[in-house]
Amino acid sequence: MKFLIKSIVLALIVCMTNGKKLVEINTQTSFKSDSGMDGDGHVSMQFTSSSGEHCFVNEMDHGSFDDYRTGAFDRYPGELIQGCYEHEFSSPLQDIFVQHRGSDAWRFDFIRAIFDDNTFVDCGSGDHNIDDGDAILVTCHL
């Protein structure tokens, strides 16, 4: 009986500590000239874990603020990440599928996912360039 109770308590602890909620996404636009998106450029992102859990952000944008400038580190906390806000991942983030729309290319170094336990994961290996509807899969560093 003692063993059973111990097992249940242990299972509960594992359940409670296993899931991480995504709370903020950061993007590092490259410093090379014309890396930014000033004109007609948009990106959507799908975040996927090693067990296939995923969430989707259609377009991260600070409204009238000029996002994704060359060399900019942009932060998108809370509701700005739409369907990914507080999305729970029970296994590590594996990759991000980044889809571009529009005529202004975006060059970025990495995308950072920050969780509610203050840990973060960086995805991308520098110098990814997407334009005119390109889609790429960037790998996360575990």
Residue nearest Ca ion (C-beta atom): 67
- Of the pair 67, 95, the CB lying nearest Ca ion is at 67
**Interface pick for Ca ion out of 105, 120, 129, 138 (rule CB under 5 A):** 105
Work out how close the CB of 139 gets to Ca ion at its nearest, in angstroms, rounded to a whole number.
23
The CA-atom distances, in angstroms, between 131 and each of 101, 102, 103, 108 are 7, 7, 7, 12
- Of the pair 130, 140, the CB lying nearest Ca ion is at 130
Binding of Ca ion by 104 (CB under 5 A): yes
Q: Burial, 56: exposed, middle or buried (Cβ in 10 Å; 0-12, 13-18, 19+)?
A: middle
Per-residue binder mask for Ca ion (CB under 5 A), 26-55, x = binder: --------x---------------------
The gap from C-alpha 73 to its chain's centroid, in whole angstroms, comes to 14
Contact present, 41 and 105 (Cβ < 8 Å): yes
E strand residue ranges, 2-127? 20-29, 41-49, 54-57, 73-77, 87-89, 93-102, 106-115, 120-123
Which tokens belong to 59? 């377009």
Binding of Ca ion by 61 (CB under 5 A): yes
**Interface pick for Ca ion out of 23, 54, 67, 98 (rule CB under 5 A):** 67
Work out how close the CB of 18 gets to Ca ion at its nearest, in angstroms, rounded to a whole number.
36
- H/E element holding 138? strand 135-139
- Of the pair 54, 107, the CB lying nearest Ca ion is at 107
Binding of Ca ion by 72 (CB under 5 A): no
- Which stretches of the chain bind Ca ion, using CB under 5 A? 34, 61-62, 67, 104-105
